[in-house]
Amino acid sequence: MNPLHALTGLPTFRHGIHPDDMKELTRSLAIERMPFSAEYVLPLSQHTGAPSRPLVGPGARVERGQLIAAADGYVSTALHAPVTGTVRGIELRPHPTGKQLPAIVIDIDPFDSQRVRGIAPRDWDALTPDEISEAVQAAGLVGLGGAAFPSHVKLHVPEGKHVQFVILNGCECEPYLTCDHRVMVERAPDVVLGLRKIMRLTGAERGYIGVELNKPDAIEALTAALDGDGAIEVVPLEVKYPQGAEKMLIDAIFHREVPSGKLPLDLEVVVHNIGTAVALVDLVRSGIPLIERIVTVTGPGVRRPANLVVPVGTLLREVLEYCGGLHDATRQVILGGPMMGMAQKSLDVPIVKGVSGVLALTEPAPMIEEEPCIRCGRCLEACPMFLNPSRLSLLVRGEQSDALSTLGMLDCCECASCSFVCPSHIPLVHLMRVGKAMVRQSAKS
Partner 1 sequence: MSPREPQLSISTAPFLNSGLGTRRLMWEVVFALVPVVAAATWFFGLAAILVVLATCAGALGAERLLVPGRGAAGSLRDGSALTTGLLLALTLPPSIPLWMAALGGAVGIGLGKLIWGGLGQNLFNPALVGRAFLQAAFPGALTTWTAPGRGLWNLADGTLALPFARAGVDITTTATPLGLAKFDGRVTDPGALLLGNTAGSLGETAAVVLIVCGLYLGLRRVFDWRLAVSTLATVAVASQALHLLRPDDYPGAAFMLLSGGLLFGAVFMVTDPVTSPITPRGAWIFGCGVGLLVVLIRLFGGLPEGVMYAILLMNGVTPLINRYTQPRRFGA
Of residues 257-316, which lie at the interface with partner 1 (CB under 8 A)?
257-260, 262, 301
Q: Which stretch binds partner 1 (CB under 8 A): 109-117, 231-239, 253-261, 307-315?
A: 253-261
Which residues in the 373-402 window bind partner 1 by CB under 8 A?
Answer: 373-377, 380-381, 383-388, 390-391
CA–CA separation, 116 and 92 (whole Å) = 28
Q: Do residues 292 and 310 touch, judged by C-beta distance below 8 A? A: yes
Secondary structure of residue 89 in the 3-state scheme: strand
70 class by beta-carbon count within 10 Å (0-12 exposed, 13-18 middle, 19+ buried): middle
Nearer to partner 1, 188 or 248 (CB): 248
User: In which order are the strands placed within the sheet that holds 32-33?
Assistant: 32-33, 306-311, 292-298, 357-361, 332-335, 342-344
Secondary structure of residue 266 in the 3-state scheme: helix
Which residues in the 185-244 window bind partner 1 by CB under 8 A?
Answer: none
Q: Using alpha carbons only, what angle is made at residue 291 by residues 180 and 296, rounded to the nearest 5 degrees?
A: 30
Nearer to partner 1, 219 or 326 (CB): 326
Nearer to partner 1, 190 or 318 (CB): 318
Residue 332 binds to partner 1 (criterion: CB under 8 A): yes
Cα radius of gyration rounded to whole Å, the chain: 22
Residue 342 binds to partner 1 (criterion: CB under 8 A): yes
Question: Least distance from C-beta 96 to partner 1, angstroms?
Answer: 12
Question: Least distance from C-beta 264 to partner 1, angstroms?
Answer: 11
Residue 371 binds to partner 1 (criterion: CB under 8 A): yes
Question: Least distance from C-beta 333 to partner 1, angstroms?
Answer: 6
- Render the burial of 14-44: b for 16+ CB within 10 Å, e for the rest: bbbbebebbbebbbebebeebebbebbbbbb
Nearer to partner 1, 235 or 407 (CB): 407
Q: Which stretch binds partner 1 (CB under 8 A): 123-131, 155-163, 216-224, 322-330?
A: 322-330
Cis peptide before 51 (omega within 30 of 0): no
Of the residues 163, 302, 359, 439, which one makes contact with partner 1 according to CB under 8 A: 359
198 class by beta-carbon count within 10 Å (0-12 exposed, 13-18 middle, 19+ buried): buried
Question: Least distance from C-beta 143 to partner 1, angstroms?
Answer: 19
Residue 3 binds to partner 1 (criterion: CB under 8 A): no
Number of residues that bind partner 1 (CB under 8 A): 74
Which residues in the 59-98 window bind partner 1 by CB under 8 A?
Answer: 98
Residue 343 binds to partner 1 (criterion: CB under 8 A): yes
Question: Least distance from C-beta 324 to partner 1, angstroms?
Answer: 9
Question: Least distance from C-beta 334 to partner 1, angstroms?
Answer: 6
CA–CA separation, 147 and 155 (whole Å) = 16
x/- map, 403-422, partner 1, by CB under 8 A: ----xx--x----x--xxxx
Q: Which stretch binds partner 1 (CB under 8 A): 144-152, 226-234, 424-432, 437-445?
A: 424-432
The answer for residues whose C-beta is within 8 angstroms of residue 129's C-beta and 6 or more apart is: 156, 157, 201
Which residues in the 100-159 window bind partner 1 by CB under 8 A?
Answer: none
Nearer to partner 1, 148 or 284 (CB): 148
Sequential DSSP letters for 298-347: ESTTBSS-EEEEEETTBBHHHHHHHTT-B-TT--EEEES-TTT-EEES-T
First to last CA, the chain: 41
